[in-house]
Amino acid sequence: MSAYRAEGEYKRDSRYITDRITADGRDGWPVEPGRYRLVVSRACPWASRAIIVRRLLGLEDVLSMGVCGPTHDERSWTFDLDPGGRDPVLGIERLQEAYFKRFPGYDKGITVPAIVDIPSGQVVTNDFAQLTLDLSTEWGVDSPLYPPAQRDEIDEVMQLVYRDVNNGVYRAGFAGSQEAYEAAYDRLFARLDWLSQRLSRQRYLVGDTITEADVRLFTTLVRFDAVYHGHFKCNRSKLSEMPVLWAYARDLFQTPGFGDTVDFDHIKQHYYLVHRDINPSGIVPAGPDLSGWQEPHGRG
């Protein structure tokens, strides 16, 4: 994550590598099974989107995945979960190496998710928003996640979710002033109330099946009680105290590809150990009780 603060308000650094891997290879990166490696961390909500979409689309055999550890330093995510601290396919210790291989002296965020070209060892893209949409539309799968007839509505909902919820929790957590914090807090919970009303009438955000919009909301909701409620001061209500959203989140969590890709230990370690400006002690909370995620959701 790369960010800066202006007049107390958190601003996300959105300078990404926007090359795309497409069926026709128009950016110079054609879809080829086995050629690319998706690099993620299970701690990161943006990377978690890609993990879930890859699983839901059945792309595991054509797009391999490297998993970084839950923490990083100011330089880069590292492959400390792998033997010898190196990714077994790319042969690198730090994701930074793939960025520098393509752009020596790269001075923007070394972020996950990223897709790396295995033959050259170069990063292709870290544009997390476009990356998952391209998995649905360019990789030759019959994807229900981004159906053409509903894309305008999906895009509209995703924009609101990103602005007020996905990024909204960060705007609250990293606010540099009381005013900026309260503005982000109010906007976040107003949007969560709006989402609760929407989901009280329908099982999923758009249409009657899971779409990309649900994936994007889920990765914030699943971190809410474990991290954002306390660590980011988003504490009007826990997720488990918002009945509609709590049932909706459990519905998704219990769907293959969602909850079975979540690692709560990695999530808590990342936020509480890396964000020392917010949590100087580095103490990782023992709670909350996460057993409720498997309780019946009643949204069948």
Average pLDDT, the chain: 96
Residues of the chain with CATH 3.40.30.10: 3-137
Among the listed residues 36, 170, 204, 228, the single catalytic one is: 170
Q: 10 Å Cβ neighbour count for 282?
A: 11
Catalytic residue selected from 16, 44, 181, 185? 44
8-42 pLDDT tens trace: 888 877 789 999 999 999 999 999 999 999 999 99
Domain with CATH 1.20.1050.10 in the chain: 148-259
Which helix H or strand E contains 268, and what residues bound it?
helix 264-274
Question: Please, are residues 71 and 179 in contact by the beta-carbon 8 Å criterion?
Answer: no
Q: Residue 242 pLDDT more than 60?
A: yes
User: What pLDDT score does 166 carry?
Assistant: 98
| Residue 7 pLDDT | 61
Contacts of 277 (CB under 8 A, 6+ apart): none
Average pLDDT over residues 154-159: 98
Q: What is 148-259's CATH number, 1.10.287.130, 1.20.1050.10, 1.10.10.10, 3.30.465.10?
A: 1.20.1050.10
Banded model confidence at residue 300, pLDDT cuts 50, 70, 90: confident
pLDDT tens for 243-259 read 999 999 999 999 999 99
Active site residue 234: no
Q: Name the CATH topology of 3-137.
A: Glutaredoxin (3.40.30)
Q: Tell me what the mean pLDDT of segment 229-236 comes to.
A: 98
d(CA 224, CA 26): 39
Confidence of residue 266 (pLDDT cuts 50, 70, 90): very high
CA–CA dist 12, 184 (Å, integer): 14
77 marked among binding-site residues: yes
The percent of residues above 70 in pLDDT, for the chain, comes to: 98
- 87, 137, 149: which is closest to 114 by C-alpha? 87
H/E element, 114: strand 114-117
Q: Tokens in use for 175?
A: 């606010």
Q: What is the DSSP letter of 208?
A: T
**pLDDT computed for residue 139 by the predictor:** 98
pLDDT in tens, 127-144: 999 999 999 999 999 999
Is 44 one of the annotated active-site residues of the chain? yes
Structure tokens at 234: 């988003």
pLDDT tens digit sequence for 208-226: 999 999 999 999 999 999 9
Distances (CA, A) of 271 to 92, 267, 278: 24, 7, 9
88-108: average pLDDT: 97
Task: Please tell me the predicted confidence (pLDDT) of residue 162.
Answer: 98
| 44-96 pLDDT, tens digit each | 999 999 999 999 999 999 999 999 999 998 888 999 999 999 999 999 999 99
Sequence-distant (6+) residues with CB within 8 A of 100 are 106
